Amino acid sequence: MLNYPMPVLDEAELAAAAAGLAESEIRLLSGTVVDPAGVIRAKHVPTVRARAFHVAGVGASPSWNVFCIDNAIAFRPGFGVVGDLRLRADLAALHVLGDGLAWAPAEMFDQDGDPVPVCTRGLLRRTQAELAGRGLTALVGAELELVVPEQVGRPWNAYGLGPVLDVEPFVLDLVDMCTAVGLPLEQVHAEYGVGQVEFSLSPTDPLTAADNVVLARLLAGRVARRHGLTTSFSPQPFAGGAGNGAHQHLSLFRDGVPLLSGGRGPHGLTPEGEAVIAGIVAGLPELLGVFAGSVLSTHRLQPGRWSGAYACWGLENREAAVRLCAATSGNPHGASVELKCIDPSANPYLATAAFLGLAADGVSRGAALPPEVTVDPAGLTGAGAAVRLPVDQAAALAALDASPLAERLLGTEIRTALSAVRHHELDTYGEEDVAVLAERFRFTWSS
């Protein structure tokens, strides 16, 4: 399972990376990991230590994997105060951010330099490689919704022009920063929620897509600070109304040929494309704890919020958790399935790995496509009623804990750590009022 380790740069590549950092007058390299609770954590080294950060790594306690959203530690066997992990920066994904700072995603290793199964970026790397081993490649595009709390209480038109002009200096600087660092930005708009702005990213390979989510949140936080603003990536930054989603679009190809278009099935699906959608829809209730597992997640995941509260699929159906976007001339990236139930409290590496894993599971089983939902699923009743995803965190975690599929897709270590931190949330805050929770954890998933 662990035989796809992060590549180590050779001497020439290391020298080129060092020269690039020196030339851009970089003073600090930040290396990030995202923990199972979805919080971005980091270690930083002065530029001269970039090589060491990549080759030997820097230390982190195994308990990093069971840090909770309130900074409690949900100790479990193997995740305690004894032992040491090495965080190694992946300099193949190094980005010079300017003004002294560079960033690279990091992965977790043991002290002998071997990958550890609890590393979520390592899991996604392996999932992507295993897919490739079966002749499948994937493209993933992420959407980032964020709320600027300073704008809440001001006039707001959903999808309006004015709201973006209100935060224009922030938006323009963020666009400039994305361009400068090579982060492929697709679109910006004012979302439905008050103070809510969306940035969507172009599709890339899955590992890069998850890295891009982390990088985009870093840039958003860095640029916002320069304008005296803050950014909330909480699933429910304020009680009531629209929450923040972290939707992902997935396209799959066999030997370069799309699975979600060009076939004879509904809307051009190929037989394997049908199985992809079937696998995702079938596994969603069990895996919701990965996609939307925090104590705030099910407050967002409500019918009528376009957050995908039902385990069903439909062409351009914004109330279905799985929205098919067909390959039309208006969709130059080709067909994709959008998983709408993902929220920003999900670790993007885990969410992407689970999304790919469900799709691959459908293909391996030759799963049969369930009937399409062509209306708002909330209105379906009786025998044709759509499957509502777990309605609270307790139900989502119970389904995850009981799922052999989750065990297979995530591995014991990640599942143990994820379950530990989410159960801490449930036990400590499960009865708390949403307004109190929203305020307390408004900036937990920001950087």
Give the binding site for Mg ion (CB under 5 A).
Answer: 198
Q: How many residues bind ligand GLU (CB under 6 A)?
A: 13
Q: What angle do CA 178, 26, 219 make, to 5 degrees?
A: 25
Residue 307 touches ligand GLU, criterion: CB under 6 A: yes
Shortest reach from residue 300's CB to ligand GLU, in Å: 5
Distance, CA of 409 to CA of 387 (rounded, Å): 22
DSSP-derived 3-state class of residue 54: helix
Q: Which of 178, 242, 284, 399 touches ligand GLU by CB under 6 A?
A: 242
Q: Which of 134, 154, 318, 408 touches ligand GLU by CB under 6 A?
A: 318
Candidate ranges 66-74, 165-173, 298-306, 326-334; the one touching ligand GLU (CB under 6 A):
298-306
Shortest reach from residue 259's CB to ligand GLU, in Å: 24
Q: Provide the 10 A C-beta neighbour count for residue 132.
A: 13
Candidate ranges 44-52, 205-213, 240-248, 385-393; the one touching ligand GLU (CB under 6 A):
240-248
Residue 304 touches ligand GLU, criterion: CB under 6 A: no
184-190-191-192 Cα dihedral, nearest 10 degrees: -170
**Structure tokens that stand for 202 in this block:** 């172009």
Q: Which of 126, 305, 415, 424 touches ligand GLU by CB under 6 A?
A: 305
Positions 137 through 156 that interact with ligand GLU (CB under 6 A): 145
Task: Look up residue 223 and give its amino acid.
Answer: V
Q: What angle do CA 238, 244, 245 make, to 5 degrees?
A: 155
Shortest reach from residue 106's CB to ligand GLU, in Å: 29
Report the b/e string of 83-120 with b at 16+ CB within 10 A.
eebbbbbbbebbbbbeeebbbbbbbbbeeeeebbebbb
Residue 245 touches ligand GLU, criterion: CB under 6 A: yes
**Structure tokens that stand for 75 in this block:** 């100790």
Query: Residue 408: CB partners within 8 Å, gap ≥ 6?
Result: 357
Task: Select 242 or 373, whichever has its Cβ closest to ligand GLU.
Answer: 242
Candidate ranges 17-25, 102-110, 241-249, 410-418; the one touching ligand GLU (CB under 6 A):
241-249
Task: Select 275 or 281, whichever has its Cβ closest to ligand GLU.
Answer: 281
Task: Select 198 or 274, whichever has its Cβ closest to Mg ion.
Answer: 198
Say if residues 219 and 227 touch (Cβ distance below 8 Å).
Answer: no
Shortest reach from residue 402's CB to Mg ion, in Å: 32
Task: Select 300 or 415, whichever has its Cβ closest to ligand GLU.
Answer: 300
Task: Look up residue 26 and give its amino acid.
Answer: I
Say if residues 246 and 213 touch (Cβ distance below 8 Å).
Answer: yes
Task: Select 105 or 203, whichever has its Cβ closest to ligand GLU.
Answer: 203
Report what 425 binds from ligand GLU, Mg ion, none; CB cut-off 5-8 Å by kind. none
Q: What angle do CA 40, 424, 243 make, to 5 degrees?
A: 55
Say if residues 256 and 166 touch (Cβ distance below 8 Å).
Answer: no
**Contact positions toward ligand GLU, by CB under 6 A?**
145, 191-192, 242-245, 300, 305-307, 318, 340
